[in-house]
Amino acid sequence: MTDGIRFRATTKSDLDACTELLSAAGLPVADVSLERLALIAERDGKACGLIGLESYGPVGLLRSLVIDPSCRNAGLGRRLVSALEQQARSQGIDELWLLTIDADRFFERLGYRREKRDSAPPAIVATGEFSGLCPDDAVLMRKRLAT
């Protein structure tokens, strides 16, 4: 990539940097774990974005998209979502769900659609994000992934 940003799978050594990024953005950190963090974007060895994924068979929960302010407005969020969608497809995930407080318009531009909370599949309802980490007024969204 010409902007010097590269994506890679998160590792245990990334947990502190990921927690810092999430905290700075006001996102939940109570259940941060390597299993929930999928990809990290870095420039010059410094974390500048991340995105998470929880897999539940054919459905997945997109988690914790966050971009450091110094890397915003350059399409990094869109690129991270696209990379995560490719990863999800390779894991056999047919649709991604997410909860957001203020990024619904961003995700709509990427093909996600608003859904009623009672339409979420049981695996998504059972997640900590759905059942308590995100407020009840968070927007639930879904995207069917093309195969």
Q: In which domain, by residue range, is 44 found?
A: 5-144
Summarize pLDDT for 2-38 with one digit per residue, the tens. 578 999 998 888 888 888 888 888 877 777 766 666 7
In tens, the pLDDT along 50-80 reads 999 999 999 999 988 999 998 888 899 999 9
Residue with tokens 């994506």: 7
Whose CA is closest to 114, among 84, 137, 131? Answer: 137
* 50 DSSP β-pair partners: 40, 66
Percent of the chain with pLDDT over 90: 51
Which DSSP symbol is given to 131? I
**Could you read off the pLDDT of 79-114 as tens digits, one per residue?**
999 999 999 999 999 999 998 888 999 999 999 999
CATH of the domain at 61: 3.40.630.30
Torsion sign across C-alpha atoms 111, 115, 119, 122: positive
| Three-class DSSP category at 107 | helix
147 compared with 70, residue with greater pLDDT: 70
Q: How sure is the predictor about 1, in pLDDT bands with cuts at 50, 70 and 90?
A: very low
CA angle 59, 65, 68 (to 5 degrees): 165
pTM value is 0.88
pLDDT at position 117 over 90 = no
Q: Cβ-count burial of 105 within 10 angstroms (0-12 exposed, 13-18 middle, 19+ buried)? A: exposed
Domain count, the chain: 1
